[in-house]
Amino acid sequence: MTTATAPPSVRSRVAELAAVQIDRWQEGYLRDSPKDVAALARLRRGAGRDAADLPDLWTLVDTSPLYARLDDVRPLSEEELVRAENALHAALTLWAMHQQSRGAHMHRPHARGGPGGPAGLGAAVRRLMPPDGIDEPVRKRLVRAGTAPDLTSLSQRLRDLIVLLRRADIPLDYGLLAGQLYAWQWPGGADTVRREWGRSFHSWQDPAAPASAQSADGAAPSSDDRDKDAS
């Protein structure tokens, strides 16, 4: 007897596609592959800009898997495709800016309880702060990103945060972020993503801190809070 599995959501397909493409470019860039170094430079120019303004990237960002016919999965609507493509463009170009001149992987998959810890946006921003305090200017940047009126504005505000993460060599899960950028564009999606970033912010704990350390809001973290990711 086989167990049926739910078809992948559009959000999860966007997240997976972003991770696959970034993994390929990232490994090539770290090997100093001329092709991948050139791709990164092209992508980087698109950070914080609308995908429609950069036809040069249309042949670089492969969105064909979104059009693939999958068993038991309906074709995506035009609205879904546009929002998925916009989310991919934003995530991939922000990663390219993050990865520039870095010798380590700036895209790192989120890991609940794993050695790398959470890699959602909120957790990454929390790592910019001292373990025993909140850096208000940095926190306000995250809040400002969360109040962006549209995806282009959001990408521009995220770019400011990515600059800080890049300087500190703090990685981010760009597959996770791509899925969030897709969700953001739907009614109610911004509220959902803001909550995810908030949970991610409080999920990060300094590895050097004692196990009984409190969360950033001053309350002892519960097992549920520690297990919540920013997906």
Q: Say whether 125 sits in a helix, a strand or coil.
A: helix
User: What was the pLDDT predicted at 112?
Assistant: 63
User: What was the pLDDT predicted at 41?
Assistant: 95
Residue 198: how many other CB atoms lie within 10 Å: 17
User: What was the pLDDT predicted at 71?
Assistant: 75
Residue 42: how many other CB atoms lie within 10 Å: 16
Determine the Cα–Cα distance for residues 211 and 52; give it in Å rounded to an integer: 48
Measure Cα distances from 203 to 1, 105, 145, 207 in Å: 39, 21, 19, 12
| Closest to 7 in 3D by CA, of 81, 76, 73, 77 | 73
User: What was the pLDDT predicted at 133?
Assistant: 87
SS (H, E, C) 161-206: HHHHHHHCCCCECHHHHHHHHHHHCCCCHHHHHHHHHHHHHHHCCC
Instruction: Indicate the length of the chain as a whole number.
Output: 231
Determine the Cα–Cα distance for residues 204 and 196; give it in Å rounded to an integer: 13
Question: Quick one: which H or E segment has residue 126?
Answer: helix 121-127
Determine the Cα–Cα distance for residues 174 and 158; give it in Å rounded to an integer: 12
- Specify the pTM: 0.84
User: What was the pLDDT predicted at 69?
Assistant: 83
Per-residue tens of pLDDT for the chain, all 231 residues: 444 445 569 999 999 999 999 999 999 999 999 999 999 999 999 898 888 788 888 888 889 999 988 777 788 999 999 999 999 999 999 999 999 999 999 999 876 655 555 679 999 999 999 988 889 999 999 999 999 999 999 999 999 999 999 999 999 999 999 999 999 999 999 999 999 999 999 887 665 554 444 333 333 333 333 333 343
CB 80 within 8 A of CB 7: no
Determine the Cα–Cα distance for residues 86 and 97; give it in Å rounded to an integer: 17
Q: Say whether 43 sits in a helix, a strand or coil.
A: helix
* Mutual angle of helices 78-99 and 174-184, in 10-degree steps: 140
